[in-house]
Amino acid sequence: MIPFSPPRIDDRTLQAVEEALRSGWITTGPRTKEFEKRLAAYCGVPKVIALNSWTNACELVLRWFGVGPGDEVILPAYTYCATANIVMHVGAKPILVDILDDFTMDPAALRKAMTPNTKCILPVDIGGLPCDMAAIMRVAEEARARFRAANSEQRALGRPLVLSDAAHSFGARYQGKAIGSQADITGFSFHAVKNLTTAEGGALAFNLPESFDVEALYKLFNTMSLHGQSKDALAKTQPGAWRYDVALPGWKCNMTDLQAAIGLVELERFDSETTPRRKEICERYSLAFQSDARFDLPLFKDDDRESCYHLYMLRITKATEAQRDAIITAIARREVSVNVHFIPLPLLSFYKGQGYGMKDHPNTYRHYSRAGPPACCRLPSCPVDLDQTCRTGGRGVSPSGEVNARCCPANTPPFSWGRGHRCIGGP
Q: Which residues does 213 contact at the CB level (< 8 Å), separation at least 6?
A: none
Taking alpha carbons only, the member of 100, 105, 101 closest to residue 123 is 105
CA-CA distance, 130 to 100, in Å (whole number)?
12
Q: Is 29 left (phi over 0), alpha (psi -120 to 50) or beta?
A: beta
Q: Say which residue, 51 or 4, is predicted with more confidence.
A: 51
Q: Kindly indicate the confidence band of residue 380, based on its pLDDT and cuts at 50, 70 and 90.
A: low
| Between residues 383 and 59, the one the model is more confident about | 59
Q: Dihedrals φ, ψ of 420, to 5°?
A: 95, -10
Distance CA 211, CA 157 (A): 8
> CATH fold of 11-267, please?
Aspartate Aminotransferase; domain 2 (3.40.640)
Domain 271-393's class?
A: alpha beta
Taking only Cα atoms into account, the Rg of the chain, rounded to an integer number of angstroms, comes to: 22
Whether 106 has a pLDDT exceeding 60, the answer reads yes
Per-residue pLDDT tens digits for 114-137: 999 999 999 999 999 999 999 999
* Nearest-angstrom CA–CA distance, 360 and 354: 15
CA dist 77 and 361 (Å) reads: 7
Average pLDDT score, the chain: 87
Q: Which are the contacts of 349, defined by CB distance < 8 A and separation ≥ 6?
A: none
The dihedral sign for the CA sequence 241, 242, 248, 252: positive
Q: How confident is the model at residue 5 (pLDDT cuts 50, 70, 90)?
A: confident
> What is the tens place of the pLDDT at every residue in 230-239?
888 888 788 8
Confidence of residue 370 (pLDDT cuts 50, 70, 90): low
Say whether 271-393 and 11-267 share the same fold. Answer: no
Residue 371 has pLDDT above 50, yes or no: no
Contact assessment for residue 54 and residue 82, using Cβ atoms and an 8 Å cutoff: yes
Q: How confident is the model at residue 394 (pLDDT cuts 50, 70, 90)?
A: low
Strand partners, 312: 379
Phi then psi dihedrals of residue 67, to 5 deg: -75, 130
Beta bridge partners of residue 180, listed in sequence order:
none
d(CA 32, CA 246): 22
pLDDT at position 97 is 98
Domain residue extents for the chain: 11-267, 271-393
> What's the mean pLDDT in 363-392?
57
What's the pLDDT tens digit per position in 155-194?
999 999 999 999 999 999 999 999 999 999 999 999 999 9
21, pLDDT greater than 90 = yes
The closest of 118, 122, 134, 120 to 80, measured between CA atoms, is 122
Q: Give me the sign of the Cα torsion angle 114, 75, 328, 391.
A: positive
